[in-house]
Amino acid sequence: MKKIAILNGPNLDRLGKREPEIYGRATLADLEAALRAEFSDRAELTCFQSNHEGALIDKIAALTDAKFDGIVINGGAFTHTSVALRDALLGAHLPTIEVHISNIYKREEFRHKSLTAPACIAVITGLGLEGYHAAVRYLLKN
């Protein structure tokens, strides 16, 4: 059984409350439950959310040391600002898929640039929470 981590960055703990017209009404707990319901027979999922850059970086290092098979990450705003997060992903040498709930290319210009995308094997944007499911499916097949 593959070990896959679902990492969420700043403000994703506010899913369902923060800008529901963009992010929907489902909570982070709803997302995690839906992922576990779909994949519990094929993957060991570890879910982690932090509003703190260093905590995400520490978690990526721990996943590497624990020999995880892949990461699905929504870095939130850190996607667009964090060289440190990018370096952690590059150094992990784990297949990683970046996910964005909204279509970042239909939003503000500053969201169009991802510093972390070059450290990932793919980017999924604009599929809502389904993007997480698609990312896990892909990691399970490859």
**Where in the sequence numbering do the catalytic residues fall?**
23, 100
Q: List Cα–Cα distances, 89 to 1, 18, 47, 59, 109, in angstroms.
A: 22, 27, 16, 11, 24
Quote helix, strand, coil % in the chain, to nearest 5: 50, 20, 30
Task: Give the C-alpha separation, 112 to 103, whole Å.
Answer: 9
- CA angle centred on 125, ends 70 and 84, rounded to 5°: 55
Q: How far is CA 49 from CA 34, 74, 76, in A?
A: 16, 9, 10
